[in-house]
Structure 1
Amino acid sequence: MEGDGNVELYNMWITSLMAPLPDQVSVPPQQPWEVDGEDGIRSAPYRGLPDMCDEILLLILDLLDPFTLLRASGVCTTLYRVSCTDSLWAKHCRVAFGSCFRSDSTDYSPKEAFKLLYMWRKLYMTLPYNRQLQDLLFSGIPPQKYWVQWLVLEEMVPLPPVKLPDDEIEDIWGISKDLLDEKHKDECSEALDSIFKFEWKELHTMALLHHGGYTNVQAHVLRKMRSECHEDMEWLYCQYNENRFQWLFSYLLFGLSKSSARQLQRIYLWWQRFDKKKVSRWGSTDCDIQYIASLHPLTHDFWNGKLANGDENIGIQTVENYFSMCKSLLAWILGRKWGRFKQKKVYKDTLEGVYRMLKFEAQVSMINHDQFWMVAKAQMSRICSLEKIAGNYVNWKLIDALPWYRMFMASGDPIYLEQLKGFMFRKRLINKWVLEQENLWVSNLLPESLFQLLEYETKIYEDKLHGDTFGAHLSRLIWLYLHSGQQLYMDAMKGFVYECAYASYSSQIYDCVSLVSYIGF
């Protein structure tokens, strides 16, 4: 029950479970008449699922989990009526809470009992990071009686010992006065009633023994709640549905000790591009938590409920394992005698590769640290192979823009390495040709912008491939040769470069003649 994390089902929980179905529901009209077929035989009228008898519908709905059962109840009035049958919800109550709650002593139907116990269980699990629930429980000592009654179900309650009269303890926990040990009586109290002081765990244990088990304690709480209004808990549950990812993610980043939070912040922002103004408010109340979540693709997915089928608890464990892997990766990289560019490149490309390889698996299940680290080591091995081919950071920046680079990072197929080697070999051929002794005149006559394309250019961007300028034309020829390896593009590039050099030479001669004519020689 705890592992079912469909976000859409969570969001429609309160409305589907609490509100009755409207009187008018859009249902496809059924044709009451029979239709003659081509062979003259009158066929039976079409009958849909709502036309089945209740016994058949009960057998079908009995196969559904509670959240799918809720969705089915919103289809039409017939399914809504049948889906509220006690036997269906008694089964789910028994699986989730150990009791059918079909006794009249609770004054709640199994469906209502399931709703209340499920909401309380979910809310209490969020107590470490649910500020609104903390305010309700910790604003007064002891809390309001409504919340104390629900706390009877919990063994561990982070509150000071209970100080209450014996009759209130009997009323809330259901423990007889004669079972209260006199040694727990508070002698300092001046009240007329006997005040007892107990730890919450002690009262919980006594309630279990007195009622004969946890399911009986649950029945006792439901019975005491029969006259209460549950609007506050329903409102809290709606807030939990809307904000659970934000609350839990904020708790992960800022709810740890100061030293752990600083270490996580360092790992989180290491070699990331970010807005310093937004990040400067890290941990404050006006911190832009959504912007911080967007800095890593995995945390961005968690923020949008895309991890572990929307289960926030399993999803946050995946995020924790991810940053545990980042910590190990960072320590490994900084322990190498690499330049800063290589360290940054290995770190960023490894994280991108890890996310690319595991993002679909992370959407349905939890990924542990070992899985992350295994994929990270494979990605680092591929990055080091690419670095050897590049030889220096200029060439590394060049091949980073190529599709073969990403395809090798994704698959590890050596055929893409061969493609990159061929690309780098052809790049060196262009560079070697322009620097040959016999072509020195070309390099002296070419405009600086064209010469940089042949020798110094690290990337040819798409916008440089379009237009009628000399630079665009030369970029197209270089791009075609580097990617295809066909000699005809190399020859066309050489011819174009020679033409540009001759044109530059002719222009210089013309300028000299014009200057001489002007001087009057």
Structure 2
Amino acid sequence: MEGDGSAERYDMWLSGFMDPRTTERWEPPECEKTLDGKEMTSAPSRCILEMSDEVLLLLMEFLDPFSLLRAGAACSTLYRICSTDSLWAAHCRSSFGSDFRTTDAAYTQKEAFKLLYIWGKLYKTLPYNRPLQDLLFSGIPPKRYWMQWLILEDMVPLPPIQLADYDIEDIWGLRKDLLDEKHKVTDESLEETKHSVFKYDWKELHNLALQHHGTYAKVQLHVLQKMSSECHEELEWLFVQYNRFRFQWLFSYWLFGLSKSCARQLQRIYLWWKRFDKRKVSSWGSTQCDVQYLASLHCITEDFWNGNLANGEENIGIQTIENYFSMCKSLLAWILGRKWGRFKQKKIYKDTLEGVYRVLKPEMQVALISHDQFWAAAKVQMLRICSLEETAGNYVNWKLIDALPCYRLYMASGDPFYLEQIKGFLFRKQLISNWLLQEENMWVRNLLPDSLSQLLEYETKLIEERLHGDTMVAYLSRLIWLYLHSGQQLYMDALKGFVYECAYASFSSQIFESCSIVSTGF
């Protein structure tokens, strides 16, 4: 395979990195230069390619299979070293239980590792790999695909099949005298043929093959010897597609592959209190469904879609998603069992999920997170939310503090310091409201424009856009924001002075308008 360049293509396809057919050798610079252009007098650096083959081979023994493939993709010299049979025999032994060394082998150990790895990865995706399903189930699959299934019987359940005895011998390596007569198909149309037809479950044939060959490794060896001369381009192309779309395929299968009752329950939990496009969600589960949009509705599913869960292991990542939504189901049942208002239910559910994701995100990126881990984090987040709700006292104040940095910092850390900051913020907000409601300030309330009165009394959030500009609303918003966040009395005094000025200005304008009306009347 070295002569036609196909092995290089396989390396590039498996590793997904540099084109290994690039044979340009990297050479170190003869000398380095300082910032002013002068040459530095230092010892010349040595290139790794100047080492002997024996030393390079010892270095390559420390690499895992995929690092070895990437190293071999660098240049022709490293490709030759990284293709050594002893290296790949060790990887075959650790991954598949045998080095597959035989005197009459028509394959290299590198090819053996590649083929077994491809088949193992690809056929495990059969439940959600639509292109592979179309290939295998559109008609009777070629025998070369049956041969690969032989080593995957424990992974992929297959239906019973009728085969002639010579086909069974060719695929499984079983002699005719090992086949049980009770599985023989009696059909008058088959009596004229010299060969018998048997009906077996694939599992039974798999067990017979294990008994006949002795060990699972010898079954793999039988398959490799039979398949070494076959063309694997079709399955290799499917594997490239799998590498590119495996997260999308598996996510779609998980989201839509449930029974109707389970699917409705998952859809309810998935969309609970989420702002979504009803037009896009209406096609849930159909071929026109925008699955990427559905994945974007939750941070954890969006991470899986982009391959950012469990170090890119799609099966572990989907287990994390399953555990997450199992926790969501339990959380939702717990919340709805309380006699809370709709706002409080929504707030606790939403903030709990955001807090759980924020706390567990670093760990989810590298490992599987169990249902219990999710619940443990959820309980901590709910305790903090209840403390914030108790501090707020009512829904208006809760809406007010929701946008505060201290709110998020307390949810993330649980530090009582941030809770005290929030209490001070609410206390100062109450001081502003109480000052305006004093009896001696009744004239101020009557004269102030509605926009300013609402800002002082009823506004629950200081919108960022209102803090900029030269209008009265912007100026008063800045004074309120500075006082609420700093607590300094000078901002409160400035706020009072500005409110009085606005009231006087409104009073003067009203007097002027009255005088104008009177003078016009005369």
- Please tell me the TM-score bracket, short chain as reference: over 0.9
Give the match for residue 150 of structure 1.
148
Q: What is the Cα deviation at residue 16 of structure 1?
A: 5.0
Alpha-carbon distance between aligned partners in 1 of 2:42 and 2:296, rounded to the nearest angstrom: 59
Equivalent position SS for 1:459: coil
Equivalent position SS for 1:285: coil
Kept after mapping to 2: 8 A contact 1:301/1:307? yes
Kept after mapping to 2: 8 A contact 1:408/1:414? yes
Give the match for residue 38 of structure 1.
none
CA deviations 1:367-395 (Å, max 9, x no partner) are 11000000001000100111111122211
Give the match for residue 185 of structure 1.
184
Amino acid at match of 1:79: L
Give the match for residue 263 of structure 1.
265
Amino acid at match of 1:27: W
Q: What is the Cα deviation at residue 461 of structure 1?
A: 1.4
Give the match for residue 420 of structure 2.
418
Kept after mapping to 1: 8 A contact 2:336/2:345? yes
Alpha-carbon distance between aligned partners in 1 of 2:313 and 2:182, rounded to the nearest angstrom: 46
TM-score (norm 2): 0.93
Q: What pairs with 1:384-395 in structure 2 (closer than 5 Å)?
A: 384-395=386-397
Give the match for residue 303 of structure 1.
305
Q: Out of 186-195 and 463-472, give the one that drifted further.
A: 186-195
The partner residue of 1:285 within 287, 310, 313 is: 287
Equivalent position SS for 2:189: coil
Kept after mapping to 1: 8 A contact 2:269/2:325? yes
Give the match for residue 315 of structure 1.
317
Q: Which runs of 5+ in 1 are unaligned?
A: 1-10, 33-41
CA deviations 1:290-315 (Å, max 9, x no partner) are 00000000000000000011110111
Alpha-carbon distance between aligned partners in 1 of 2:45 and 2:414, rounded to the nearest angstrom: 56
Give the match for residue 368 of structure 1.
370
Give the match for residue 52 of structure 1.
51
Give the match for residue 168 of structure 2.
169
Alpha-carbon distance between aligned partners in 2 of 1:501 and 1:281, rounded to the nearest angstrom: 57
Q: What pairs with 1:111-150 in structure 2 (closer than 5 Å)?
A: 111-141=110-140, 143-150=141-148
Amino acid at match of 2:152: E
The partner residue of 1:205 within 195, 204, 207 is: 207
The partner residue of 1:357 within 356, 359, 364 is: 359
Q: What is the Cα deviation at residue 516 of structure 1?
A: 0.5
Alpha-carbon distance between aligned partners in 2 of 1:211 and 1:395, rounded to the nearest angstrom: 75
Q: What is the Cα deviation at residue 76 of structure 1?
A: 2.3
Equivalent position SS for 1:89: helix
Alpha-carbon distance between aligned partners in 2 of 1:273 and 1:441, rounded to the nearest angstrom: 44
Kept after mapping to 1: 8 A contact 2:162/2:198? yes
Q: 1:47 to 1:18 in 2, by over 3 A?
A: closer
Q: 1:20 to 1:167 in 2, by over 3 A?
A: farther
Provide the aligned C-alpha RMSD in A. 1.9
Kept after mapping to 2: 8 A contact 1:93/1:99? yes
Q: Which runs of 5+ in 2 are unaligned?
A: 1-9, 32-40
Give the match for residue 511 of structure 1.
513
Q: 1:114 to 1:418 in 2, by over 3 A?
A: same
Kept after mapping to 2: 8 A contact 1:129/1:248? yes
Alpha-carbon distance between aligned partners in 2 of 1:160 and 1:492, rounded to the nearest angstrom: 82
Q: What is the Cα deviation at residue 73 of structure 1?
A: 1.2
Equivalent position SS for 1:68: helix
The structure with higher relative contact order (CA 8 Å, sep 6+) is 1
Q: Out of 251-260 and 186-195, give the one that drifted further.
A: 186-195
Amino acid at match of 1:175: L
Q: 1:12 to 1:481 in 2, by over 3 A?
A: farther
Alpha-carbon distance between aligned partners in 2 of 1:462 and 1:250, rounded to the nearest angstrom: 39
Alpha-carbon distance between aligned partners in 1 of 2:45 and 2:362, rounded to the nearest angstrom: 41
Q: What is the Cα deviation at residue 31 of structure 1?
A: 4.8
Alpha-carbon distance between aligned partners in 2 of 1:350 and 1:19, rounded to the nearest angstrom: 44
Alpha-carbon distance between aligned partners in 2 of 1:160 and 1:357, rounded to the nearest angstrom: 45
Give the match for residue 39 of structure 1.
none
Give the match for residue 3 of structure 1.
none
CA deviations 1:384-441 (Å, max 9, x no partner) are 1111111222111110010000000000001101000000000000000001101000
Alpha-carbon distance between aligned partners in 2 of 1:44 and 1:467, rounded to the nearest angstrom: 63
Amino acid at match of 2:116: L
Q: What pairs with 1:179-258 in structure 2 (closer than 5 Å)?
A: 179-188=178-187, 190-191=189-190, 192=193, 193-258=195-260
Q: What is the Cα deviation at residue 104 of structure 1?
A: 3.6
CA deviations 1:102-139 (Å, max 9, x no partner) are 22433110100000000000011111111121222222
Kept after mapping to 2: 8 A contact 1:149/1:221? yes
Alpha-carbon distance between aligned partners in 2 of 1:285 and 1:158, rounded to the nearest angstrom: 26
Q: What is the Cα deviation at residue 169 of structure 1?
A: 0.7
Kept after mapping to 1: 8 A contact 2:11/2:20? no
Q: What is the Cα deviation at residue 24 of structure 1?
A: 3.4
Equivalent position SS for 1:164: strand
Kept after mapping to 2: 8 A contact 1:17/1:70? no
Amino acid at match of 1:404: C
Kept after mapping to 2: 8 A contact 1:474/1:493? yes
Q: What is the Cα deviation at residue 26 of structure 1?
A: 4.8
Give the match for residue 436 of structure 1.
438
Q: 1:310 to 1:197 in 2, by over 3 A?
A: same
Kept after mapping to 1: 8 A contact 2:183/2:200? yes
Alpha-carbon distance between aligned partners in 2 of 1:17 and 1:515, rounded to the nearest angstrom: 84
Alpha-carbon distance between aligned partners in 2 of 1:225 and 1:332, rounded to the nearest angstrom: 56
The partner residue of 1:485 within 480, 484, 487 is: 487
Q: What is the Cα deviation at residue 29 of structure 1?
A: 4.7
Q: 1:392 to 1:135 in 2, by over 3 A?
A: same
CA deviations 1:340-373 (Å, max 9, x no partner) are 0110011110111001101111001111100000
- Moved >6 Å (runs of 4+): 17-20
Give the match for residue 82 of structure 1.
81
Kept after mapping to 1: 8 A contact 2:12/2:73? no
Q: Between the two proteins, what is the percent identity of the paired residues?
A: 68
Amino acid at match of 1:235: W
Q: What pairs with 1:319-358 in structure 2 (closer than 5 Å)?
A: 319-358=321-360
Amino acid at match of 1:298: I
CA deviations 1:16-65 (Å, max 9, x no partner) are 59998326325125659xxxxxxxxx987532211111111111110111
Kept after mapping to 2: 8 A contact 1:308/1:364? yes
Alpha-carbon distance between aligned partners in 1 of 2:73 and 2:336, rounded to the nearest angstrom: 57
Alpha-carbon distance between aligned partners in 1 of 2:18 and 2:172, rounded to the nearest angstrom: 31
Q: What is the Cα deviation at residue 183 of structure 1?
A: 1.4
Equivalent position SS for 1:128: coil
Number of aligned positions between the proteins: 500
Q: 1:401 to 1:19 in 2, by over 3 A?
A: closer
Kept after mapping to 2: 8 A contact 1:155/1:205? no
Alpha-carbon distance between aligned partners in 2 of 1:466 and 1:21, rounded to the nearest angstrom: 57
TM-score (norm 1): 0.93
Q: What is the Cα deviation at residue 189 of structure 1?
A: 5.4
Alpha-carbon distance between aligned partners in 1 of 2:389 and 2:371, rounded to the nearest angstrom: 26
Equivalent position SS for 2:104: helix
Q: What is the Cα deviation at residue 272 of structure 1?
A: 0.4
Amino acid at match of 2:302: H
